[in-house]
Amino acid sequence: MGWNLEGAFVQGNYCGDISVSGVVTLSRVAYGGRVEHHIELEHGINWQDKIVRPKGDTIILDNDALTSVKEPA
């Protein structure tokens, strides 16, 4: 598996503490050589009323924040 995970279903940690899952819509090499993934959320987030994102919203996770990757069929 390479760095481009577009179309893969992933799970990871957003802002260090929030478990998220969804489909990667874009993988890119960011400034400094880091790889980041744009994730369309499978479920919404409401973390202590401070971080609120609806289902289907897109967030960005660094590759290091991913905990599970299921490649597309």
- Report the number of distinct structural domains present in the chain: 1
Please check whether residue 20 lies inside any domain of the structure. Answer: yes
Count of C-beta atoms within a 10 Å radius of residue 63: 17
Please give the sequence-ordered ranges of beta strands (E in DSSP) within the chain, or none if there are none: 9-14, 18-29, 35-41, 45-47, 51-53, 58-62, 66-70
Q: Is residue 38 part of a domain?
A: yes
Question: How much is the pTM?
Answer: 0.89
> Would 31 be classed as within a structural domain?
yes
Residue 4 included in any domain = no
Q: Distance between CA 14 and CA 65 in Å, rounded? A: 7
Q: Which domain holds residue 18?
A: 9-68
> Is residue 17, in this structure, part of any structural domain at all?
yes
Tens digits of residue pLDDT in 8-43: 999 999 988 899 999 999 999 999 999 999 999 999
Token pair belonging to 44:
């919404």
